[in-house]
């Protein structure tokens, strides 16, 4: 009797269960350690909703999600874009959405990709481990939604919307890169929120105390700059120190900050995360075929969609829109296995420790301990550089030409690797802006310093963002943009003759 | 371990709230787009939504970022002929290398608009808002108000007045058959066995007789009618437009009418059309334009062509009267007239208009309204019409307006009359 699980492309719940069981069995043999899966079948319009809420299964209300929704809806209606086959949420249990339109093959692909690939990545990668808390995130979203809805009721939705706009403008500047907060549940969060509200208000009042002090006191105090060290986490700084915010406003700042922090690892592990998931759906489905559980028709459909997922258009192709993280990640993951299993002399020279080691544990090690930037720095091999024909250009606005500085040859490998890694380094991709000083004794103005990276100037949104910052801070904002030691640009909000936002 | 959950039956429109917030935020843009669309559309074409475009730069959410300039290093795939050390001429548009989308030329928006769809309801809502319609009227316009109750099947739930007796009894009967079938079968068997042995004292016979008694009791205990036998009729309200209506749009197209005046008139006609359409099964529109002579035209020509020359209003009224006679017998059609003008008329023509309306037309019409779109003083035509309004208040109204927002008060008169009168007899 044939072992084939299904003959045609219709899916049923029984079939999904069967496939899931087989995929789980194979995943186990490869040591994929996952959260339990919660597979949810949804309609395409629900998928659009899921898209619009940018991966939050329970989101608070804001017009920007409405914009997102209209955008997705239009793209989908006009057939300009297909919807993703799945969305997966980093939570415990790990929620994966499957669309009802998918064929059985696609459902199996998605289960392998999301429920075992992404899921094990979420559970084991160090960034996710230290920055997100899968146990409590859904509870937190529920808390956030409720809190914001309550605020809308009490203080009016326009007020809340304005505040959220301002927080959203700064949300990429809401992460502590060096400390990891302790995870707490929603109930605790609620209790703490009240405690915190009261405590913070007391602290702030202290900082802004206006009662005059003795002359001797003042001399000492004036020497202290506040903050004593520059702060890169602008939202945190606002939450704790903004003089005029009410405690509910501080809590909303905190919510936006917390949610941004939850997404922070995802922004830094695109290549790895997609590469890992793609590698495993490819490996697992091939195993299903080898074990006679699926037929050729299934494999043809699977390979067709797999190869379009990992296609990398070249730079001069009309379809080119940057490096495809699926393609690069998948190629690198496979390459690691190849280096372990059948290293060439070149591999032995470049990866002495990796060549010939056990591929499975090496691959797990790579997945667990790197982010995109360091992963590329460590593992991008000459083979992959050659396969992708990567080359590096330098575009300097002071030079008349664009220079090709490295190509896929012996002299170029290291530089290409270095440059590509930098391309995934968030701290060079986003402007380095930090809180420098607050004029505590004077006009309470807030001074920010921007340190230019390779002379790259700030974009035209800057003033707009600073207006938002001004709304949160309540007093004047200064921004100095430095190139080395020299100030290149100064912005003051509110500017001359400019009314408050 | 995996849990598989079917969420397909979960509620729709999770994003509805966010969508509404977006629409609210960009109301100004959307209203502008709707206003533009109204002037482009035919007045009989209000039954669909609209694509709204908003300049991308207006809806971007700001964030810190780099703009072009400085030194950029990029890694690209698919090298063919480049060698390290090659210098490539910068493509037009300056710095940015492959990334060079640039921020567009000085000539205008370089980025595409953000385009999305609003529904017909939203479209009307935005249009009404411009006209400052009160909510009640909006609802009346956007929905049908007369309903017919039609049967829509049978339900297990309902109120006693909806009880369907025949179906209830049928279902009780079926239940009784179903519940008693086994027992009756057994009774039949026992009776057959006992046939002719009634007097026997055998223990088997006694047992059978006892069983028979129990069976009889059980059968008697099956209720004749039970709660879940009850069936109720459900009724559905179906919108029920009354019958046929024809709307005459009369407009002065002489040189003194400018495009803005015509746009105001157009909105008035749209309102009237929407109103009629909600209330009548079939609505036709006749466009009559006039200067010194009148002519029946297509909508396009009606709103967008200009003529020079004098103004003789009575020519249009005569034509209208002729058309009614030819094509719209009063017995079949509800006839409405709407006239828009800037108030000019040929001297000595106004008394003729008065006579025409008072004697020939108004007896045939449901309603006739005249709007004068002008910021100057009233002229002769107005004075005659005013007299007419005094004698024929229930069928004739006139108003003068200067702006879009003035349209509604005129319209209200029509509604007031209708809600007291025959048309909306069902009441709502």
Question: In which band, very low, low, confident or very high, does the pLDDT at A82 lie, cut at 50, 70 and 90?
Answer: low
Q: What is the distance between the alpha carbons of residues A378 and A372, in angstroms, rounded to a whole number?
A: 10
Substitution target from B19, B23, B77, B91 for chain A, most A beta carbons within 10 A: B77
Is the model's pLDDT at B410 over the cut of 80?
no
Tens-digit pLDDT profile for residues B220-254: 888 888 888 899 988 887 765 556 788 898 988 87
Task: Report phi then psi at A316, rounded to 5.
Answer: -95, 5
Tell me whether residues A39 and B2 touch, CB distance under 8 A. yes
B198 exposure class (CB count in 10 Å sphere: 0-12, 13-18, 19+): exposed
Q: Helix B27-40 crosses helix B120-131 at what angle (to 10 degrees)?
A: 90
Question: In which band, very low, low, confident or very high, does the pLDDT at A285 lie, cut at 50, 70 and 90?
Answer: very high
**What is the least distance, in Å, from the CA of A353 to any CA of chain B?**
27
In the predicted model, what is the mean pLDDT of residues B52-69?
Answer: 85
In the predicted model, what is the mean pLDDT of residues B264-288?
Answer: 80
Say what the pLDDT of residue A12 is. Answer: 92
Q: What is the distance between the alpha carbons of residues B390 and B383, in angstroms, rounded to a whole number?
A: 11
Q: What is the distance between the alpha carbons of residues A378 and A418, in angstroms, rounded to a whole number?
A: 10
Which residue in the set B1, B62, B72 is minimally distant from A395, CB to CB? B72
Which residue in the set A41, A315, A433 is minimally distant from B64, CB to CB? A433
- Spell out which residues of chain B touch residue A313, defining contact as CB-CB under 8 Å: 77-78
Query: In this structure, what token pair is assigned to residue B354?
Result: 């008065």
DSSP A226-288: SSSS-BS-HHHHHHHH-SS--HHHHHHHHHHHHHHHHHHHHHH-HHHHHHHHHHHHHHHHHHH
Q: What is the DSSP letter of A446?
A: E
Tell me whether residues A38 and B2 touch, CB distance under 8 A. yes
Tell me whether residues A169 and B61 touch, CB distance under 8 A. yes
Question: In which band, very low, low, confident or very high, does the pLDDT at B161 lie, cut at 50, 70 and 90?
Answer: confident
Nearest CA in chain B to A395: B72
Q: What is the distance between the alpha carbons of residues A229 and A435, in angstroms, rounded to a whole number?
A: 9
Tens-digit pLDDT profile for residues B134-155: 454 554 555 445 567 788 888 8
Say what the pLDDT of residue B44 is. Answer: 72
Tens-digit pLDDT profile for residues B302-337: 877 777 777 888 889 999 999 999 988 887 788 888
- Spell out which residues of chain A touch residue B71, defining contact as CB-CB under 8 Å: 394-397, 454-456
How many other CB atoms are there within 10 angstroms of residue B155's CB atom? 13
- Spell out which residues of chain B touch residue A401, defining contact as CB-CB under 8 Å: 87-90
Tens-digit pLDDT profile for residues A251-266: 999 999 999 988 889 9
Residue scoring higher pLDDT (B283 or A124): A124
Contact B348, B380 (CB under 8 A): no
Question: In which band, very low, low, confident or very high, does the pLDDT at B95 lie, cut at 50, 70 and 90?
Answer: very low
Residues 6 or more apart whose Cβ sits within 8 Å of residue A86: A96, A97, A98, A99, A110, A113, A114
Q: How many residues does chain A have?
A: 501
Q: What is the distance between the alpha carbons of residues B310 and B36, in angstroms, rounded to a whole number?
A: 31
- Spell out which residues of chain B touch residue A458, defining contact as CB-CB under 8 Å: 64-67
- Spell out which residues of chain B touch residue A408, defining contact as CB-CB under 8 Å: 79
Domain boundaries, chain B: 26-56+112-131, 160-234, 244-420
Which residue in the set A24, A168, A397 is minimally distant from B95, CB to CB? A397
Tell me whether residues B74 and A77 touch, CB distance under 8 A. no
Contact B388, B360 (CB under 8 A): no
Q: How many residues does chain B have?
A: 428
Residue scoring higher pLDDT (A500 or B415): B415
Is the model's pLDDT at B426 over the cut of 60?
no
**What is the least distance, in Å, from the CA of B408 to any CA of chain A?**
30
pTM: 0.72
Say what the pLDDT of residue B254 is. Answer: 77
Residue scoring higher pLDDT (B426 or B196): B196
**What is the least distance, in Å, from the CA of B60 to any CA of chain A?**
9
With CA atoms as reference, report the closest residue to A429 among A419, A439, A438, A437.
A419
- Spell out which residues of chain A touch residue B17, defining contact as CB-CB under 8 Å: 61, 66
- Distances in Å between the Cα of B419 and the Cα atoms of A62, A476, B241, B406, B412 are 41, 59, 15, 21, 10
Say what the pLDDT of residue B98 is. Answer: 41
How many other CB atoms are there within 10 angstroms of residue A45's CB atom? 15
Residue indicated by tokens 């003789």: B312
Cis amide bond preceding A491, omega within 30: no
**What is the least distance, in Å, from the CA of B138 to any CA of chain A?**
25
Tell me whether residues B8 and A43 touch, CB distance under 8 A. yes
Tell me whether residues B65 and A430 touch, CB distance under 8 A. yes
| Range list of H helices, A104-171 | 104-110, 119-124, 126-131, 137-155, 157-169
Q: What is the distance between the alpha carbons of residues B333 and A136, in angstroms, rounded to a whole number?
A: 68
How many other CB atoms are there within 10 angstroms of residue A101's CB atom? 12
Say what the pLDDT of residue A238 is. Answer: 93
DSSP E strand stretches across B156-309: 232-239, 244-252, 282-290, 294-297
A1 exposure class (CB count in 10 Å sphere: 0-12, 13-18, 19+): exposed
Domain boundaries, chain A: 13-125+269-304, 310-427
In the predicted model, what is the mean pLDDT of residues A178-205?
Answer: 69
Of chain B, the percentage scoring pLDDT greater than 70 comes to 83
Question: In which band, very low, low, confident or very high, does the pLDDT at A416 lie, cut at 50, 70 and 90?
Answer: very high
Say what the pLDDT of residue B256 is. Answer: 73
- The ipTM (two decimal places) reads 0.83
Say what the pLDDT of residue B106 is. Answer: 34
Is the model's pLDDT at B417 over the cut of 70?
no
Tens-digit pLDDT profile for residues B334-354: 888 888 888 888 878 888 888
Say what the pLDDT of residue A212 is. Answer: 57
Which residue in the set B64, B90, B114 is minimally distant from A172, CB to CB? B64
Which residue in the set A40, A312, A461 is minimally distant from B65, CB to CB? A461
Q: What is the distance between the alpha carbons of residues A290 and A286, in angstroms, rounded to a whole number?
A: 6
Contact A291, A124 (CB under 8 A): no
Q: What is the distance between the alpha carbons of residues B299 and B284, in angstroms, rounded to a whole number?
A: 12
Q: Are strands A486-493 and A477-483 parallel, antiparallel or unpaired?
A: antiparallel
| Range list of H helices, B288-406 | 299-304, 313-327, 349-355, 380-391
Architecture of the domain defined by B244-420:
3-Layer(aba) Sandwich (3.40)
Q: What is the distance between the alpha carbons of residues A286 and A282, in angstroms, rounded to a whole number?
A: 6
Mean pLDDT of chain B: 78
Question: In which band, very low, low, confident or very high, does the pLDDT at A354 lie, cut at 50, 70 and 90?
Answer: very high
**What is the least distance, in Å, from the CA of A66 to any CA of chain B?**
4
Query: In this structure, what token pair is assigned to residue A393?
Result: 């250009």
- Spell out which residues of chain B touch residue A95, defining contact as CB-CB under 8 Å: none
- Distances in Å between the Cα of A373 and the Cα atoms of A122, A174, A211, A268, A286 are 18, 20, 50, 8, 30
Say what the pLDDT of residue B126 is. Answer: 78
In the predicted model, what is the mean pLDDT of residues A147-158?
Answer: 93
Mean pLDDT of chain A: 87
- Spell out which residues of chain B touch residue A452, defining contact as CB-CB under 8 Å: 70
Question: In which band, very low, low, confident or very high, does the pLDDT at B103 lie, cut at 50, 70 and 90?
Answer: very low
């Amino acid at each position: 009797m044939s072992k084939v699980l299904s003959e045609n492309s219709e899916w049923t719940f029984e079939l999904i269960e069967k496939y899931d069981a087989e995929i789980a069995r194979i995943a186990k043999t490869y040591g994929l350690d996952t959260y339990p899966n919660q597979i949810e079948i949804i309609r395409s319009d629900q998928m659009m909703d899921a898209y619009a809420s940018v991966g939050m299964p329970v989101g608070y209300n804001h017009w920007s999600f409405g914009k997102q929704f209209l955008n997705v809806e239009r793209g989908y209606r006009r057939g300009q874009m297909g919807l993703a086959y799945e969305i997966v949420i980093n939570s415990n249990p790990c929620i994966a959405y499957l669309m009802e339109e998918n064929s059985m093959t696609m459902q199996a692909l998605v289960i392998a990709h999301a429920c075992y690939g992404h899921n094990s990545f979420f559970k084991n990668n160090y960034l996710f481990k230290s920055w997100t808390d899968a146990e409590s995130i859904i509870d937190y979203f529920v808390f956030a939604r409720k809190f914001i809805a309550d605020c809308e009721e009490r203080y009016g939705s326009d007020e809340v919307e304005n505040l959220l706009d301002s927080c959203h403008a700064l949300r990429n500047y809401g992460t502590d890169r060096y400390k990891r907060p302790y995870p707490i549940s929603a109930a605790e969060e609620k209790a703490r929120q009240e405690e915190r509200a009261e405590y913070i208000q007391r602290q702030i009042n202290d900082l802004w105390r206006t009662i005059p002090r003795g002359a001797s006191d003042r001399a000492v105090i004036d020497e202290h700059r506040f903050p004593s060290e520059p702060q890169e986490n602008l939202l945190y700084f606002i939450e704790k120190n903004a003089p005029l915010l009410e405690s509910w406003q501080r809590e909303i700042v905190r919510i936006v900050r917390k949610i941004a922090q939850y997404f922070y690892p995802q922004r830094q592990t695109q290549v790895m995360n997609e590469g890992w998931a793609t590698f495993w759906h490819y490996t697992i489905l091939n195993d299903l075929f080898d074990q006679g559980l699926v037929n050729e028709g299934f494999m043809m459909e699977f390979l067709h969609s797999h190869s379009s997922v990992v296609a990398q258009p070249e730079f001069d192709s009309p379809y080119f829109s940057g490096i495809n993280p699926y393609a690069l990640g998948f190629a690198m993951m496979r390459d690691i296995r190849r280096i372990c299993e059948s290293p060439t002399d070149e591999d032995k020279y470049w990866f002495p420790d990796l060549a010939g080691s056990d591929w499975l544990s090496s691959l797990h090690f790579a997945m667990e301990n790197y982010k995109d930037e360091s992963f590329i720095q460590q593992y991008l091999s000459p083979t992959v550089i050659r396969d992708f024909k990567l080359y590096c250009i330098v575009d300097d606005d002071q030079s008349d030409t664009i220079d090709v500085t490295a190509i896929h040859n012996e002299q170029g490998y290291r530089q290409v690797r270095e440059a590509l890694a930098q391309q995934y380094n968030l701290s060079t991709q986003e402007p380095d802006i930090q809180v420098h000083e607050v004029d505590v004794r004077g006009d309470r103005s807030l001074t920010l310093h921007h340190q230019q990276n390779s002379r790259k100037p700030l974009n035209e949104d800057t003033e707009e963002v600073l207006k938002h910052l001004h709304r949160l801070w309540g007093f004047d904002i200064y921004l100095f943009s430095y190139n080395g030691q020299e100030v290149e640009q100064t912005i003051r909000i509110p500017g001359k003759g400019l009314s408050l936002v | 371990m995996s849990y598989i959950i079917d969420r397909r039956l979960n509620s729709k429109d999770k994003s509805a709230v966010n969508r509404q917030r977006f629409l609210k935020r960009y109301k100004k843009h959307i209203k502008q787009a709707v206003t533009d669309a109204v002037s482009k559309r035919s007045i009989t074409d209000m039954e669909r939504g609209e694509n709204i475009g908003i300049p991308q730069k207006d809806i971007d959410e700001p964030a810190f970022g780099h703009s072009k300039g400085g030194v950029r290093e990029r890694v690209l795939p698919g090298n063919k002929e480049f060698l390290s050390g090659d210098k490539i001429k910068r493509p037009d548009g300056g710095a940015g290398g492959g990334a060079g989308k640039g921020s567009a030329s000085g000539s205008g928006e370089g980025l595409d608009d953000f385009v999305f769809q609003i529904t017909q309801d939203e479209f009307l809502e935005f249009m009404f808002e411009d006209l400052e319609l009160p909510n009640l009227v909006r609802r009346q316009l956007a929905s049908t108000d007369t309903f017919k109750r039609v049967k829509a099947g049978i339900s297990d739930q309902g109120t006693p007045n909806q009880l369907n007796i025949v179906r209830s009894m049928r279902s009780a009967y079926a239940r009784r058959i179903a519940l008693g079938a086994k027992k009756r079968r057994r009774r039949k068997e026992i009776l057959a066995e006992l046939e002719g042995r009634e007097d026997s004292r055998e223990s088997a016979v006694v047992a059978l007789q006892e069983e028979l008694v129990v069976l009889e009791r059980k059968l008697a205990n099956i209720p004749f009618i039970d709660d879940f036998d009850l069936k109720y009729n459900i009724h559905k309200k179906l919108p029920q437009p009354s019958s046929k209506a024809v709307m005459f749009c009369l407009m002065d197209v002489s040189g003194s009418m400018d495009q803005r005046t015509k746009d105001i008139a157009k909105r008035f006609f749209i309102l009237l059309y929407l109103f009629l359409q909600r209330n009548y099964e079939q609505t036709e529109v006749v466009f009559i334009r006039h200067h010194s002579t009148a002519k029946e035209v297509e909508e396009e020509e009606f709103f967008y062509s200009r003529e020079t020359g004098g103004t003789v209003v009575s020519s249009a009224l005569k034509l209208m009267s002729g058309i009614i006679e030819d094509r719209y017998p009063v017995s079949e059609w509800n006839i409405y007239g709407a006239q828009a003008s800037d108030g000019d008329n040929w001297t000595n023509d106004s008394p003729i208009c008065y006579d025409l309306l008072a004697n020939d037309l108004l007896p045939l019409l449901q309603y006739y309204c005249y709007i004068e779109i002008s910021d100057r003083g009233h002229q002769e035509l107005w004075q005659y019409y005013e007299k007419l309004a005094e004698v024929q208040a229930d069928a004739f109204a006139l108003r003068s307006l200067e702006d879009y927002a003035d349209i509604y008060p005129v319209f209200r008169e029509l509604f007031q009359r209708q809600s007291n009168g025959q048309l909306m007899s069902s009441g709502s």
